[in-house]
């Protein structure tokens, strides 16, 4: 074979080998990419929140031989953030899981279908915010300060004396705005 043909043959082989090599190795040499998702939520300059995620109102054992209201209380801490001295806020409550109309009721968890009516109220540092059937409150609160409210509930003898014995429960959701 002549040296010119050998060079020509090597040149042709290189022309085939280089593109094949690039097809096989090219993706490995390509830049690695990462898609970054960027998001933000701009909050209201003034916002109130509950300090703590859950609050329990526990009546404990209710003795049907008594003739006084059964009561339960719990502290509910609220804090508002912002720049002004005070702000107004709203606390709403839903009707719980077992309400009948406007009447809040706990359900007997051992004997389903049996209910125990109760009332719930909220008292702030200056007195009642809402009571009984009320579902909305508004009160001024100082910014950047924890304020303690007393959440209370009552069951009357007329409701617990004829009740079927057993454990009762309900879940009420409170919502605060702004």
Query: Confidence band (pLDDT; 50, 70, 90) for 149?
Result: confident
32 Cβ contact list (under 8 Å, min separation 6):
none
Domains of the chain from N-terminus onward = 47-177 (2.60.40.1090)
Residue 118 · residue 154 · CB < 8 Å: yes
CA–CA separation, 141 vs 85, rounded Å? 9
Q: What angle do CA 65, 168, 175 make, to 5 degrees?
A: 125
Q: Considering the entire predicted model, what is its pTM?
A: 0.69
Q: What is the pLDDT of residues 59-115, one digit of tens each?
A: 999 999 999 999 999 998 988 887 777 777 778 888 999 999 989 999 999 999 999
């Amino acid at each position: 074979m002549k040296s010119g043909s050998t060079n020509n043959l090597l040149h042709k082989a290189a022309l085939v080998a280089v593109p094949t090599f690039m097809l096989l190795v090219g993706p490995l040499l390509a830049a690695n990419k990462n898609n970054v998702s960027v998001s933000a939520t701009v909050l209201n300059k003034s916002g109130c929140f509950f300090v703590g995620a859950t609050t329990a109102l526990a009546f404990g054992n209710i003795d049907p031989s008594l003739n006084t209201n059964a009561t339960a209380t719990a502290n509910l801490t609220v804090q508002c953030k912002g720049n002004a001295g005070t702000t107004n806020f709203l606390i709403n409550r839903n009707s719980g899981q077992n309400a009948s109309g406007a009447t809040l009721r706990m359900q007997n968890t051992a004997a389903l279908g049996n209910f125990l009516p109760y009332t719930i109220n909220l008292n702030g540092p200056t007195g009642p915010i809402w009571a009984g059937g009320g579902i909305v409150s508004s009160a001024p609160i100082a910014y950047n300060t924890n304020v303690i409210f007393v959440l209370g509930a009552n069951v009357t003898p007329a409701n617990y004396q004829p009740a079927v014995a057993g454990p009762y429960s309900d879940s009420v959701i409170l919502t605060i705005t702004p």
